Structure 1
Amino acid sequence: MNVFELNSAVAKIKEKAESGEIEPETLADTLESLEDVRNEKLDSVANWINEDESKIDWLDKKIKQLTKLKKHYQTQSVNLSKFLKIAVESSGHESIQTNKFNFKLGRLSYRTIVPDVNKIPIDYVTYPDPKPQANKKKIKEDLQKGKDVPGAYLERSRKVVIE
Protein backbone atom coordinates (compact mmCIF):
# COMPACT_ATOMS: atom_id res chain seq x y z
CA MET A 1 0.00 0.00 0.00
CA ASN A 2 1.13 3.51 -0.69
CA VAL A 3 0.88 6.34 1.85
CA PHE A 4 -2.45 7.57 0.52
CA GLU A 5 -3.98 4.10 0.66
CA LEU A 6 -2.67 3.74 4.21
CA ASN A 7 -4.24 7.07 5.18
CA SER A 8 -7.51 5.93 3.65
CA ALA A 9 -7.34 2.61 5.51
CA VAL A 10 -6.69 4.43 8.81
CA ALA A 11 -9.72 6.64 8.18
CA LYS A 12 -11.93 3.60 7.43
CA ILE A 13 -10.75 1.83 10.59
CA LYS A 14 -11.53 4.92 12.66
CA GLU A 15 -15.02 5.08 11.07
CA LYS A 16 -15.66 1.45 11.97
CA ALA A 17 -14.44 2.10 15.51
CA GLU A 18 -16.82 5.02 15.90
CA SER A 19 -19.73 2.91 14.68
CA GLY A 20 -18.73 0.09 17.05
CA GLU A 21 -17.92 -2.46 14.33
CA ILE A 22 -14.43 -3.12 15.71
CA GLU A 23 -13.36 -4.07 19.21
CA PRO A 24 -11.06 -1.57 20.96
CA GLU A 25 -8.14 -4.03 21.20
CA THR A 26 -8.34 -4.91 17.48
CA LEU A 27 -8.67 -1.21 16.66
CA ALA A 28 -5.50 -0.31 18.53
CA ASP A 29 -3.46 -3.11 16.93
CA THR A 30 -4.73 -2.39 13.42
CA LEU A 31 -4.19 1.37 13.69
CA GLU A 32 -0.74 0.91 15.13
CA SER A 33 0.37 -1.47 12.37
CA LEU A 34 -1.04 0.76 9.60
CA GLU A 35 0.48 3.91 11.11
CA ASP A 36 3.85 2.17 11.58
CA VAL A 37 3.98 1.22 7.89
CA ARG A 38 2.85 4.71 6.84
CA ASN A 39 5.36 6.42 9.13
CA GLU A 40 8.17 4.24 7.82
CA LYS A 41 7.29 5.29 4.26
CA LEU A 42 7.15 8.96 5.27
CA ASP A 43 10.52 8.64 7.02
CA SER A 44 11.98 7.14 3.85
CA VAL A 45 10.77 10.10 1.81
CA ALA A 46 12.21 12.53 4.38
CA ASN A 47 15.58 10.73 4.18
CA TRP A 48 15.44 10.97 0.41
CA ILE A 49 14.80 14.72 0.63
CA ASN A 50 17.71 15.13 3.06
CA GLU A 51 20.01 13.23 0.69
CA ASP A 52 18.88 15.40 -2.26
CA GLU A 53 19.45 18.60 -0.27
CA SER A 54 22.91 17.38 0.67
CA LYS A 55 23.66 16.73 -3.01
CA ILE A 56 22.33 20.19 -3.91
CA ASP A 57 24.64 21.80 -1.33
CA TRP A 58 27.59 19.84 -2.73
CA LEU A 59 26.69 20.88 -6.29
CA ASP A 60 26.37 24.55 -5.25
CA LYS A 61 29.88 24.43 -3.78
CA LYS A 62 31.22 22.68 -6.87
CA ILE A 63 29.57 25.24 -9.16
CA LYS A 64 31.22 28.07 -7.18
CA GLN A 65 34.60 26.33 -7.42
CA LEU A 66 34.24 25.75 -11.15
CA THR A 67 33.02 29.31 -11.75
CA LYS A 68 36.05 30.65 -9.89
CA LEU A 69 38.36 28.37 -11.87
CA LYS A 70 36.72 29.42 -15.15
CA LYS A 71 37.19 33.09 -14.26
CA HIS A 72 40.87 32.39 -13.47
CA TYR A 73 41.46 30.84 -16.90
CA GLN A 74 39.53 33.61 -18.68
CA THR A 75 41.64 36.28 -16.95
CA GLN A 76 44.83 34.34 -17.66
CA SER A 77 43.88 34.00 -21.33
CA VAL A 78 43.22 37.76 -21.62
CA ASN A 79 46.53 38.58 -19.95
CA LEU A 80 48.49 36.15 -22.14
CA SER A 81 46.81 37.59 -25.25
CA LYS A 82 47.86 41.10 -24.15
CA PHE A 83 51.42 39.80 -23.69
CA LEU A 84 51.46 38.35 -27.22
CA LYS A 85 50.09 41.60 -28.65
CA ILE A 86 52.79 43.67 -26.96
CA ALA A 87 55.46 41.18 -28.09
CA VAL A 88 54.37 41.38 -31.74
CA GLU A 89 53.88 45.18 -31.67
CA SER A 90 57.29 45.77 -30.09
CA SER A 91 58.98 43.62 -32.75
CA GLY A 92 58.23 46.28 -35.36
CA HIS A 93 56.55 43.70 -37.61
CA GLU A 94 52.93 42.87 -38.34
CA SER A 95 53.55 39.21 -37.60
CA ILE A 96 56.02 36.77 -36.05
CA GLN A 97 56.41 33.24 -37.38
CA THR A 98 57.58 30.47 -35.03
CA ASN A 99 57.95 26.74 -35.67
CA LYS A 100 54.42 26.10 -34.44
CA PHE A 101 52.42 29.31 -34.85
CA ASN A 102 52.06 32.52 -36.79
CA PHE A 103 51.25 35.50 -34.56
CA LYS A 104 49.86 38.45 -36.46
CA LEU A 105 48.22 41.68 -35.47
CA GLY A 106 44.54 41.79 -36.23
CA ARG A 107 42.77 44.73 -37.78
CA LEU A 108 42.69 48.01 -35.92
CA SER A 109 39.46 48.71 -34.08
CA TYR A 110 38.28 51.23 -31.52
CA ARG A 111 36.73 50.65 -28.12
CA THR A 112 34.47 53.23 -26.53
CA ILE A 113 35.68 54.14 -23.05
CA VAL A 114 33.38 55.87 -20.56
CA PRO A 115 35.11 56.09 -17.17
CA ASP A 116 32.10 57.67 -15.44
CA VAL A 117 28.59 57.48 -16.91
CA ASN A 118 27.60 60.49 -14.79
CA LYS A 119 30.04 62.74 -16.69
CA ILE A 120 28.65 62.20 -20.18
CA PRO A 121 25.77 64.19 -21.70
CA ILE A 122 22.31 62.86 -20.90
CA ASP A 123 21.67 62.17 -24.63
CA TYR A 124 24.15 59.27 -24.38
CA VAL A 125 22.67 57.62 -21.29
CA THR A 126 20.08 54.84 -21.07
CA TYR A 127 18.28 53.92 -17.87
CA PRO A 128 17.85 50.17 -17.57
CA ASP A 129 17.55 48.64 -14.11
CA PRO A 130 19.39 48.88 -11.79
CA LYS A 131 21.56 51.85 -12.88
CA PRO A 132 22.15 54.19 -15.85
CA GLN A 133 24.42 52.97 -18.64
CA ALA A 134 26.29 54.67 -21.44
CA ASN A 135 25.00 54.09 -24.97
CA LYS A 136 28.48 53.17 -26.25
CA LYS A 137 27.31 52.48 -29.79
CA LYS A 138 25.89 56.00 -30.18
CA ILE A 139 28.94 57.53 -28.48
CA LYS A 140 31.31 55.64 -30.80
CA GLU A 141 29.38 56.70 -33.91
CA ASP A 142 29.43 60.35 -32.86
CA LEU A 143 33.11 60.32 -31.86
CA GLN A 144 34.03 58.76 -35.21
CA LYS A 145 32.08 61.53 -36.94
CA GLY A 146 34.23 64.06 -35.10
CA LYS A 147 31.65 65.18 -32.52
CA ASP A 148 32.81 66.00 -29.01
CA VAL A 149 31.35 63.78 -26.28
CA PRO A 150 32.61 65.01 -22.91
CA GLY A 151 33.51 62.17 -20.54
CA ALA A 152 34.11 59.60 -23.31
CA TYR A 153 36.86 58.71 -25.74
CA LEU A 154 37.92 56.03 -28.22
CA GLU A 155 40.80 53.70 -27.49
CA ARG A 156 42.69 51.99 -30.30
CA SER A 157 42.54 48.27 -29.99
CA ARG A 158 44.22 45.39 -31.82
CA LYS A 159 44.24 41.73 -31.00
CA VAL A 160 46.79 39.11 -31.91
CA VAL A 161 45.55 36.38 -34.20
CA ILE A 162 47.17 33.00 -33.62
CA GLU A 163 47.28 30.79 -36.70
Structure 2
Amino acid sequence: MNLFELTVKYKELADRDDLDPEMIKDTLDSIEDTFNSKVDNIATWIERNQMNVDWLTKKIQELRELQTSLKNKNKQLNQYLTEAIDNAGYKEVKTDNHFLKPRNYRPSVIVSDESVVPDSYKNVEQVTKIDKKLLYEDLKNGKDIDGVELKPSRKVVIK
Protein backbone atom coordinates (compact mmCIF):
# COMPACT_ATOMS: atom_id res chain seq x y z
CA MET A 1 0.00 0.00 0.00
CA ASN A 2 1.45 3.37 -0.96
CA LEU A 3 1.54 6.52 1.18
CA PHE A 4 -1.46 8.10 -0.55
CA GLU A 5 -3.62 5.00 -0.02
CA LEU A 6 -2.64 4.90 3.67
CA THR A 7 -3.49 8.57 4.13
CA VAL A 8 -6.90 7.98 2.52
CA LYS A 9 -7.50 4.99 4.83
CA TYR A 10 -6.76 7.06 7.96
CA LYS A 11 -8.92 9.93 6.65
CA GLU A 12 -11.85 7.60 5.92
CA LEU A 13 -11.55 6.14 9.42
CA ALA A 14 -11.46 9.60 11.03
CA ASP A 15 -14.54 10.72 9.08
CA ARG A 16 -16.71 7.81 10.24
CA ASP A 17 -19.03 8.41 13.19
CA ASP A 18 -20.52 4.92 13.32
CA LEU A 19 -17.51 3.12 14.80
CA ASP A 20 -17.40 1.92 18.39
CA PRO A 21 -14.04 1.82 20.25
CA GLU A 22 -13.50 -1.88 19.49
CA MET A 23 -14.14 -1.36 15.79
CA ILE A 24 -11.70 1.56 15.68
CA LYS A 25 -9.05 -0.57 17.39
CA ASP A 26 -9.62 -3.50 15.02
CA THR A 27 -9.50 -1.22 11.96
CA LEU A 28 -6.31 0.50 13.12
CA ASP A 29 -4.75 -2.90 13.84
CA SER A 30 -5.61 -4.04 10.31
CA ILE A 31 -3.86 -1.11 8.61
CA GLU A 32 -0.47 -2.29 7.43
CA ASP A 33 1.84 0.64 8.03
CA THR A 34 5.04 1.36 9.90
CA PHE A 35 4.64 1.91 13.64
CA ASN A 36 5.84 5.53 13.46
CA SER A 37 3.54 6.37 10.58
CA LYS A 38 0.57 4.77 12.32
CA VAL A 39 1.08 6.59 15.63
CA ASP A 40 1.75 9.84 13.76
CA ASN A 41 -1.55 9.55 11.89
CA ILE A 42 -3.43 8.73 15.10
CA ALA A 43 -1.83 11.72 16.86
CA THR A 44 -2.88 13.96 13.96
CA TRP A 45 -6.42 12.59 14.26
CA ILE A 46 -6.44 13.39 18.01
CA GLU A 47 -5.18 16.93 17.36
CA ARG A 48 -7.87 17.50 14.72
CA ASN A 49 -10.55 16.21 17.11
CA GLN A 50 -9.25 18.50 19.87
CA MET A 51 -9.38 21.52 17.56
CA ASN A 52 -13.02 20.65 16.81
CA VAL A 53 -13.77 20.23 20.52
CA ASP A 54 -12.20 23.62 21.28
CA TRP A 55 -14.15 25.28 18.46
CA LEU A 56 -17.42 23.65 19.57
CA THR A 57 -16.84 24.67 23.21
CA LYS A 58 -16.34 28.28 22.13
CA LYS A 59 -19.36 28.16 19.81
CA ILE A 60 -21.59 26.69 22.55
CA GLN A 61 -20.54 29.50 24.91
CA GLU A 62 -21.29 32.12 22.24
CA LEU A 63 -24.70 30.57 21.57
CA ARG A 64 -25.52 30.46 25.30
CA GLU A 65 -24.60 34.14 25.62
CA LEU A 66 -26.77 34.98 22.59
CA GLN A 67 -29.65 32.94 24.04
CA THR A 68 -29.42 34.79 27.37
CA SER A 69 -29.24 38.13 25.59
CA LEU A 70 -32.33 37.39 23.50
CA LYS A 71 -34.28 36.16 26.54
CA ASN A 72 -33.40 39.34 28.44
CA LYS A 73 -34.31 41.51 25.46
CA ASN A 74 -37.68 39.76 25.11
CA LYS A 75 -38.35 40.26 28.81
CA GLN A 76 -37.57 43.99 28.51
CA LEU A 77 -39.66 44.36 25.34
CA ASN A 78 -42.58 42.53 26.94
CA GLN A 79 -42.36 44.78 30.00
CA TYR A 80 -42.34 47.87 27.76
CA LEU A 81 -45.30 46.54 25.74
CA THR A 82 -47.29 45.79 28.90
CA GLU A 83 -46.63 49.27 30.31
CA ALA A 84 -47.50 50.94 26.99
CA ILE A 85 -50.84 49.13 26.73
CA ASP A 86 -51.62 49.79 30.41
CA ASN A 87 -50.68 53.49 30.12
CA ALA A 88 -52.87 53.87 27.05
CA GLY A 89 -55.79 52.46 29.08
CA TYR A 90 -56.49 49.49 26.82
CA LYS A 91 -57.60 46.08 28.08
CA GLU A 92 -56.50 44.48 24.80
CA VAL A 93 -55.08 45.54 21.44
CA LYS A 94 -55.72 43.94 18.05
CA THR A 95 -53.27 44.61 15.24
CA ASP A 96 -53.01 43.12 11.76
CA ASN A 97 -50.66 40.45 13.07
CA HIS A 98 -51.27 40.09 16.81
CA PHE A 99 -53.80 40.05 19.59
CA LEU A 100 -52.21 41.61 22.68
CA LYS A 101 -53.81 41.29 26.10
CA PRO A 102 -51.91 42.09 29.29
CA ARG A 103 -52.75 39.77 32.14
CA ASN A 104 -51.85 39.38 35.76
CA TYR A 105 -49.64 36.53 36.89
CA ARG A 106 -48.68 35.46 40.36
CA PRO A 107 -46.40 38.10 41.93
CA SER A 108 -42.68 37.27 42.15
CA VAL A 109 -40.98 36.99 45.54
CA ILE A 110 -37.85 39.13 45.63
CA VAL A 111 -35.42 38.52 48.51
CA SER A 112 -33.26 41.62 48.85
CA ASP A 113 -31.37 40.58 52.02
CA GLU A 114 -31.28 36.92 53.06
CA SER A 115 -29.64 37.70 56.39
CA VAL A 116 -32.75 39.44 57.79
CA VAL A 117 -35.27 36.82 56.64
CA PRO A 118 -36.58 34.89 59.70
CA ASP A 119 -35.24 31.34 60.08
CA SER A 120 -38.76 29.89 59.80
CA TYR A 121 -38.62 30.75 56.07
CA LYS A 122 -35.27 29.10 55.51
CA ASN A 123 -34.73 25.49 54.46
CA VAL A 124 -31.47 23.81 55.34
CA GLU A 125 -30.30 21.35 52.73
CA GLN A 126 -27.66 18.76 53.48
CA VAL A 127 -25.43 17.69 50.64
CA THR A 128 -23.22 14.63 50.92
CA LYS A 129 -20.04 14.79 48.86
CA ILE A 130 -17.35 12.15 48.58
CA ASP A 131 -13.88 13.43 49.50
CA LYS A 132 -11.97 11.95 46.56
CA LYS A 133 -8.71 13.58 47.61
CA LEU A 134 -8.83 11.79 50.99
CA LEU A 135 -9.90 8.54 49.30
CA TYR A 136 -6.97 8.81 46.90
CA GLU A 137 -4.47 9.38 49.71
CA ASP A 138 -5.81 6.47 51.80
CA LEU A 139 -5.93 4.08 48.82
CA LYS A 140 -2.45 5.15 47.74
CA ASN A 141 -1.21 4.36 51.26
CA GLY A 142 -2.62 0.83 51.04
CA LYS A 143 -5.91 1.21 52.90
CA ASP A 144 -8.71 -1.11 51.69
CA ILE A 145 -12.01 0.79 51.29
CA ASP A 146 -15.27 -0.91 50.28
CA GLY A 147 -16.73 0.32 47.00
CA VAL A 148 -13.62 2.22 45.97
CA GLU A 149 -10.53 1.38 43.96
CA LEU A 150 -7.71 3.15 42.18
CA LYS A 151 -7.80 2.79 38.41
CA PRO A 152 -4.52 3.34 36.56
CA SER A 153 -4.63 6.27 34.18
CA ARG A 154 -2.22 6.57 31.27
CA LYS A 155 -2.29 8.85 28.25
CA VAL A 156 0.10 9.91 25.55
CA VAL A 157 1.20 13.52 25.50
CA ILE A 158 1.22 14.87 21.95
CA LYS A 159 3.74 17.67 21.37
Normalising by the smaller structure, the TM-score range is 0.5 to 0.7
TM-score, structure 2 as length reference: 0.56
Q: Deviations over 1:33-86 (max 9, x none)?
A: x9x801211111111000000111111111111111111111111010001110
Give matches, 1:4-153, under 5 Å: 37-128=34-125
Larger radius of gyration: 1
Q: Deviations over 1:91-136 (max 9, x none)?
A: 1121122222121111342221211111101111123479xxxxxx
Alignment CA distance shift 1:4-1:99 (3 Å): closer
**Which structure has the higher relative contact order (CA within 8 Å, separation 6+)?**
1
Query: Which of the two has greater helix per residue?
Result: 1
Runs of 4+ residues over 3 Å off in structure 1: 1-6, 127-130
Aligned length: 102
Point out where structure 1 has 5 or more consecutive residues left out of the alignment.
7-33, 131-163
Q: Aligned residue for 1:154? A: none
Q: Secondary structure at the match of 2:109?
A: strand
TM-score, structure 1 as length reference: 0.54
Alignment CA distance shift 1:120-1:84 (3 Å): same
Sequence identity of aligned pairs in percent?
25
Kindly provide the amino acid, as one letter, of the partner of residue 86 in structure 1: E
Query: Which of the two has greater strand per residue?
Result: 1
CA distance in 2 between counterparts of 1:106 and 1:83 reads 14
> More displaced, 86-95 or 101-110?
101-110
